[in-house]
Amino acid sequence: MTEDTAQPTPRRKTISSPYIHRLQRRHFLLFDVLPIIGTAAAFAFLLVRPFGVLELALLFLMWLVTGLGVTVGYHRLFTHRTFKAAPWVAELLAVLGSMAGQGGVLSWVALHRRHHEYSDREGDPHSPNLSGGGLAGAIRGLAHAHFLWMRRHEYPNIVHYAPDLIKDRRLVRVARLYYYWVALGLLVPAVLGGVLSMSWTGAVSGLLWGGFVRIFVLEHIVWAINSFLHMFGTRPYESRENSHNGGIFALVTLGESWHNNHHAFPESPSFGLDWYRLDPGYWLIRLFAACGLASELKVPSQARMSAKRIA
């Protein structure tokens, strides 16, 4: 198409502007750098109040519910539409996923759909395999894919990448309140810590361990899938990018570490694919289905799986 035709210009896949890059820098400092400082503060605060059952419980429970919000909500439901969920379940998952501080649901979905579109090729927002050869290239690639890419990156146009989601008015409303959900994710463990221990030190400890440390831990788990599992691990299924499985991390990643399986069958709500591969995210989807809150689970057939199997 030439410039003088009357036809509209094709929709851009990514948007880049000083305003967007300012927002990205702010998000990076607030939600990627600040949790590191908060985690250091949590260890320093051990001098005031030791790590006990309360801290462990708040860290574990907040990690579990926000982690499930990311893998089941953000990833398996909204990005890949691997099942249908009751509207209130979908909204709850979007809120819990937002609390993880990894971006609003629309941006997260758009970035992740672009990752699948360009995996390990030019255009992938976070490939560890495009930073040159040799050991130095691998280290540069891992640092980029794990953390540094978030400072400044091409912003995927949500009109192009998430047209189905922007039609969902309830989800758009949840996405608009993203910063409030992150704040709520910090407030809840602080209040619980204070009330359960009936002390201010308990409230601070709750904020630090159930808030900042929990965000820090979950972020690094999710980022490790973008970085390390696109470089190391096993590859049982044929897929065009460099994704791998890391089976020993299945529980701690809530099933996300079956990343080669996921790239081979992105439409599947199960990332483990077989019952003996631990996949807590899929267990929750099965539980929702058993309660009538989820339907149309698109698990691939045995024949499709065998056709792609290489190891």
Question: Smallest distance from the beta carbon of 184 to Zn ion, in angstroms?
Answer: 26
Nearer to Zn ion, 26 or 240 (CB): 240
Nearer to Zn ion, 155 or 271 (CB): 271
Nearer to Zn ion, 55 or 124 (CB): 124
Question: Smallest distance from the beta carbon of 40 to Zn ion, in angstroms?
Answer: 30
Whether 273 contacts 261, CB under 8 Å: yes
Nearer to Zn ion, 111 or 174 (CB): 111
Question: Smallest distance from the beta carbon of 266 to Zn ion, in angstroms?
Answer: 6
The 215-234 site mask, x for binding Zn ion (CB under 5 A), equals --------------------
Question: Smallest distance from the beta carbon of 68 to Zn ion, in angstroms?
Answer: 16
Nearest residue to the partner Zn ion, using Cβ: 243
Question: Smallest distance from the beta carbon of 239 to Zn ion, in angstroms?
Answer: 9
Question: Smallest distance from the beta carbon of 273 to Zn ion, in angstroms?
Answer: 14
Nearer to Zn ion, 39 or 268 (CB): 268
- Using CB atoms within 10 Å of the CB of residue 193, give its burial: 0 to 12 exposed, 13 to 18 middle, 19+ buried: buried
Nearer to Zn ion, 39 or 82 (CB): 82
* DSSP per-residue string spanning 158-205: HHHH-HHHHT-HHHHHHHHTHHHHHHHHHHHHHHHHHHHHTSHHHHHH
Which residue in the block uniquely carries the two structure tokens 């996300």? 256
Q: Is the dihedral of CA 85, 89, 93, 94 positive or negative?
A: positive
Interface with Zn ion (CB under 5 A), residue total 1
Residue 15, both tokens: 């948007």
Burial letters 95-108, b for 16+ CB under 10 A, else e: bbbbbbbbbbbbbb
Residue 288, both tokens: 């929702």
d(CA 93, CA 107): 16
- Site for Zn ion, residues 242 to 281, rule: CB under 5 A: 243
DSSP letter at 295 equals E
Near Zn ion by CB under 5 A, which window of 2-10, 96-104, 240-248, 303-311? Answer: 240-248
User: Which residues make up the interface to Zn ion (CB under 5 A)?
Assistant: 243
